[in-house]
Amino acid sequence: MKHSQTLIPTLKEVPADAEIKSHQLLVRAGFIRQTASGVYSFLPLGNKVLKKVENIVREEMEKAGAAEMLMPALQPADLWKKTGRWYTFGPELMRINDRHDREFALGATHEEVITNLISDEVKSYKKLPITLFQIQSKYRDEKRPRFGLLRGREFVMKDAYSFHDSFESLDEAYDKMVTAYSTIFERCGLDFRAVIADSGAMGGKDTHEFMVLSEIGEDTIAYSDSSDFAANIEMAPVLVDYRKENEELMSLDKVETPGYKTMQEVSQYLNKPLDKGIKSILFKVDERFVLVLSRGDHEINDIKLKNLYQTTDIELASEQEALQVLGAKVGSLGPINVSNVEVIADNAVEFIVNGYCGANEDDKHFINVNPSRDFQVKNYEDLRFIQEGDPSPDGKGTIRFAKGIEVGHVFKLGQLYADKLGATYLNEQGKQETMIMGCYGIGVSRTLAAIVEQYHDEKGITWPKEISPYDIHLIVVNPKNEEQSRLSDKLYNQLMDQRVSVLYDDRKERPGVKFADSDLIGLPIRITVGKKANEGIVECKLRTTGEQFDLHESEIMSKIQSLLA
């Protein structure tokens, strides 16, 4: 492609609204432009990269035995009402009425449409298992779209769905997908981890996220420093590996803690370690109250709480409610003498000796508190967030944290959607059964941004070979010089004839502008036709290493082939 025939509007300045590198560089290098908040146009270079990622995804999906299809973005509301998500998805689901006032959702995901389709078309176990995928624009009306392509409202996604007659068959498909995803992100050149995750609003149980490691990631990954264990901290289980201190039990006492509310404040005031504190938080779970205890240096993980009670309806009780139920304000709550609400505790609490906790009287705390002697709990559970330094849940090594960008997600959905949409089949015995499902997503446009987060330097993007919009950046230093212009035109035509993917900067711009644009755009190999054109010599420069050498025109093709191999 000749630069003069395409649109690559590079910018010198960093756009004011672009906080992260991928957003800044994709805009500055002329790959994308914002059309509305969270809504982008992919300019020719951006579209090239998008198609490269799409093709990698397509190839690996097909290798994994999935068949490509294409579902519409306009989805009848009726289907979403059947699964209930019309009501629970919230404002992220964009809704539109047609001219006859019929309601539609704008595809945020396609479980409803595909399950309804399969329910109509697949009636026998003979046609199972089947895995279908599509690559398509999705719509989610994010509250705060940001970070360019990382959190947009219209974005390109690959979504796949599998249907099965047994959980073993689902496990097989799931494992194939995990393998395919790993290959996809490897081919994209990404440093990533597959981590145990929470299934959130999608329903289902087993689920992994594919996280690209990056400081700007919005998710935190807890990983072991000595094994391949990795989980979203939302989901990472905590090993019960606490020890009781060998200390004599002292007698319970009530003390004044005037105005001290947080665990840190009380710990300092009482001059007792934070890990002897018993933090007591009153939650409202499905309209009833539950007092949840954790150690003072730990944080309650509300996703674990939700999973324990199998509900999404969990919130903190208000100041008013705390006063009403336990007789004290938040900050002085505790488990002692509480009989009117359920009390549960994180496993660590059981091991506290001579601890302290709120006394259910404002500005008063108990000290020398000992679980089971001084209060009872219904259950000890794994309720807290894992922390750096904790033992790895697989028993191997110590937990470290890293930030990650979620680029893929695989779920075992089970029978949730099939149940609600009546996706049944006749088994080998002629008996009607409900299908078992999996679903598998990749944020294609987000992956593109994640690649730029990992592949850039101070001058611009440094595309990995398989993703780069073109392989070669051919630059003519002075197109008005006849020898330079003749040689570069000749090379361009040769490269095109050999189907080498090349961007030819044929513009009448100053060399400095061309070189700066070339560094910004970041193609792997730059070939510059300059002063030595009369000797048939060009300069070759590698974007990533900066390595630079002269080549005679006769050597170019073989050198390129070896560099790209």
Interface residues with a second copy (CB under 8 A)? 1, 4-7, 9, 33, 35-36, 39-44, 46-48, 50-51, 65, 67-76, 91-92, 94-96, 98-99, 102, 104, 106, 113, 117-118, 120-122, 126-127, 130-132, 134, 136-137, 139, 141, 143, 153-154, 507-508
Structure tokens at 475: 């630059």
Nearer Cβ to a second copy (44/464): 44
- Our CB check for a second copy shows the closer of 143 and 243 to be 143
CB nearer a second copy, residue 203 or residue 469: 469
Q: Residue 15 or residue 397: which is nearer to a second copy going by CB?
A: 15
Residue 259 exposure: Cα atoms within 13 Å on the Cβ side: 0
Q: Are 77 and 105 in contact (CB under 8 A)?
A: yes
Helices (H), 85-200: 85-88, 111-121, 167-187
Shortest distance, CB of residue 72 to a second copy, whole angstroms? 5
Nearest to 358 by CA among 427, 458, 448, 282: 282
Q: How far is the CB of 161 from a second copy (least distance, A)?
A: 11
Residue 499 · residue 492 · CB < 8 Å: no
CB of 145 to a second copy, least distance (A): 10
To a second copy, the closest distance from the beta carbon of 112 in angstroms equals 10
Separation between Cα atoms, residue 467 and residue 255, nearest integer Å: 65
Segments of 416-482 assigned E as strands: 424-426, 432-434, 436-443, 456-457, 460-461, 472-476
CB of 482 to a second copy, least distance (A): 21
Residue 212 neighbours by CB under 8 Å, 6+ apart: 185, 190, 191, 192, 404, 405, 407, 447, 450, 453, 454
CB-wise, 323 or 496, nearer to a second copy? 496
Nearer to a second copy, 139 or 411 (CB): 139
Least separation in angstroms between CB 239 and a second copy: 41
Q: Which is nearer to a second copy, 117 or 211 (CB)?
A: 117
Query: Cβ of residue 204: shortest distance to a second copy, in angstroms?
Result: 22
Omega of the bond leading into 44 within 30 degrees of 0 (cis): no
**Cβ atoms of residues 41 and 9 within 8 Å:** no
- C-alpha angle 107-108-112 in degrees, rounded to nearest 5: 65
The least CB distance from residue 138 to a second copy, in Å, is 11
Q: What does DSSP say about strands 67-68 and 74-76: parallel, antiparallel, or unpaired?
A: unpaired
How near is the Cβ of 41 to a second copy at its closest, in Å?
5
- Which residue, 74 or 250, is less far from a second copy as judged by CB? 74
Helix (H) / strand (E) containing 264: helix 263-270
Dihedral angle, C-alpha 99, 102, 106, 112, nearest 10 °: -150
Nearer to a second copy, 78 or 253 (CB): 78
Do the Cβ atoms of 417 and 111 come closer than 8 Å? yes
